[in-house]
Amino acid sequence: MHEVNLLSNIGLAIVVATGFALLARAFKQPLLLAYLAAGIVLGPKIGFGLIEDEASITLISEIGLILLLFIIGLEIDLKKLLSAGRTLIISGISQFLICTALGIGFFVLLGFQLGGGRFDALYLAVAMALSSTMIVVKILYDKFELTTLPGRITLGILVFQDIWAILFLSLQPNLLSPGVSTILLSFVKGAGLVLFSLSVSRYLLAHVFSFIAKIPELLLITAVAWCFLISGIADEVGLSKEMGALVAGVSLSTFPYNIDVIAKVINIRDFFVTLFFVGLGLQIPVPTVSLLAYAAVASTFLVLTRFLSIFPVLHSMKNGLRASLIPSINLSQMSEFSLVIASLGLGFNHIDPQVVGILTFVFAITSVASTYMIQYNHEIQAKIAPVLRRIGLRDIDQQPAAGEGAKEQKEIVFLGFFREASSIFHEIESIRDGNGVPLKDKVLVVDFNPVVHCELTKRDVECIYGDISSVDTLMHAHFDYSKTLVCTIPDSVLRGITNERLLNLSRRLCPQARIIVTANTLQTALHLYRQGADFVFIPRIHSARFLAEIISHSLHEDLDRYRDEEMTHLMDRREVLD
């Protein structure tokens, strides 16, 4: 009879979770919120009591939790982490420590316990210090911002948060006896598990995976077996099974097969993870006024501490206001991993069930809010940056206003500088004009990426720190008499402006200039030509060398011939996809 109840409970949980997930998808909300809502509706505390045997769901969902942490470990690239720059390392280390320290002080002041066998304030602080990889990566990927400087900083901090989570998981089982020797023993056990896993992975598993690489189902079974083996060893030595799963994933992360393993495990994981969050929803207590008030206050505190722990560190390392603010905005939510840590803490009797309820509502509030905050991160940054300037915080440029005091009028102006521009500039560096003057000496770049600013300055290229989506920036750049204006960034990457708007603004500010813009599709390119563009760069068709030569020609001749040839060529193309 128990088996029948178990199957019916699992079936009911999956069906209701699917229904809520479809609603969440329709309203563009995180799916994890839907699974939590399903658990609340099905549970005995708030909902209809359709599932009363929480243990049956919890037992099955623990498998999903282990697989979830295994995949998180697989996605932590140790080689990239070790090669991370100074900015990523310092911000990744300091963010968690600052947030946790502020959190402990704040929640102790609110009356949460810390000591005497209870660790409510500590768990709240640690949970608030972690951000959601799932939410952040999904939205930044959709916005094509993962490879931008703020995107890379955001991802770097998320990876370091995972490392901090591993350390906390290693301490978690021994928090009730937190003597120096006990804590030291926990670190020794954790370090020993990591070294054992990495050693076996390097000297044994590398050969095993190479042997079975051509048998997909055996590759999957071996990877999952390794996950549960290390998870079991961790449990036997007094560490958490979840930490073991995370370490197992990290030890395989540098293998060339990790992407294939992730792709195969992720479908199994999703089934069990759904049950985990439904099970978590079953445990949420009836929300009282005080619980909701605590959740609202904690959510506000989380957003503020992200700013306090990230912005000052990045700004002090001369990353500029924009690149310092956007990661703070991107990371302003609580992680789903925080709910995992809280769930484990409840099992260890470290915290009151009310803490899990508070964190669940904080997760819901910040997940919904941050979805919109990340979507409009550039617009939010544009509102905050002027306020920070007024109180005396300077951007990385030392000019009183973007572009004021330019030494001389440059003939070529790059409006924005991303990967395509980098390749084109490389070609420009090898070109000289008829008088033997290097073409790069005639270039001015307008961009807000501090890395670009620093590198171009080293190469003696004049650079203005500014946002090309701002009309004020373009006006203060003083390129009134420049001969060629170039934007090589497609609309999919530009924020707050399009190539067509840049074309119109540039034509108004500098009527005599040849204007080169960029398009990803053939129809967009033709439209820009009809709007008056002298040349439209299509990255998938034109090479960087070709455009560098077009820019060189534009200094002493008009581009009408190239324009007519390109329009004819584009209209004659019959591609399958535009």
CA atoms within 13 A on the CB side of 165: 33
Task: Tell me whether residue 41 is in a domain.
Answer: no
Task: Tell me whether residue 357 is in a domain.
Answer: yes
Q: Specify burial of residue 213 (Cβ count, 10 A radius: 0-12, 13-18, 19+).
A: middle
* Res 180: pLDDT: 63
Task: Tell me whether residue 2 is in a domain.
Answer: no
Which of 354, 388, 422 is at the close of a domain?
388
CA dist 451 and 428 (Å) reads: 20
Structurally, how many domains does the chain consist of?
Answer: 2
Contacts of 111 (CB under 8 A, 6+ apart): none
Do 491 and 443 fall within a single domain? yes
Cα Rg of the chain, angstroms: 28
Are the C-beta atoms of 389 and 321 separated by less than 8 Å? Answer: yes
Do 346 and 448 fall within a single domain? no
Task: Tell me whether residue 407 is in a domain.
Answer: no
Do 384 and 417 fall within a single domain? no
Residue linked to tokens 């980098």: 422
Do 160 and 204 fall within a single domain? yes
Do 372 and 482 fall within a single domain? no
Task: Tell me whether residue 117 is in a domain.
Answer: yes
Q: Specify burial of residue 479 (Cβ count, 10 A radius: 0-12, 13-18, 19+).
A: buried
Do 461 and 328 fall within a single domain? no
Q: What is the pLDDT of residues 182-195, one digit of tens each?
A: 667 777 887 888 89
Do 343 and 466 fall within a single domain? no
Could you please report the per-residue DSSP string of 419-448? HHHHHHHHHHTT-B-TTS-BGGGGEEEEE-
Task: Tell me whether residue 52 is in a domain.
Answer: no
User: Which 3 state secondary structure label does DSSP give 84?
Assistant: coil
Q: In terms of Cα–Cα distance, which of 345, 370, 450, 435 is closest to 139?
A: 370
Task: Tell me whether residue 249 is in a domain.
Answer: yes
Q: What is the pLDDT of residues 92-150, one digit of tens each?
A: 889 999 999 999 999 999 999 887 778 999 999 999 999 987 778 767 876 777 767 78
* Res 66: pLDDT: 81
471: domain CATH number is 3.40.50.720
Do 426 and 300 fall within a single domain? no
What is the rounded (10 degree) CA torsion for 277, 281, 283, 285? 150
Do 138 and 103 fall within a single domain? yes
Which of 372, 388, 404 is at the close of a domain?
388
CA atoms within 13 A on the CB side of 104: 10
Do 474 and 517 fall within a single domain? yes
Phi, psi of 36 (to 5 degrees): -65, -40
231: domain CATH number is 1.20.1530.20
Do 329 and 200 fall within a single domain? yes
Determine which helix (DSSP H) or strand (DSSP E) holds 514, and give its type and residue range: strand 514-518
Q: In terms of Cα–Cα distance, which of 249, 277, 288, 332 is closest to 70?
A: 249
Task: Tell me whether residue 277 is in a domain.
Answer: no
Residues of the chain with pLDDT under 50: 1-2, 398-406
> Which residue segment(s) compose the domain that 379 sits in?
62-266+285-388
Which of 353, 388, 423 is at the close of a domain?
388
Do 424 and 382 fall within a single domain? no
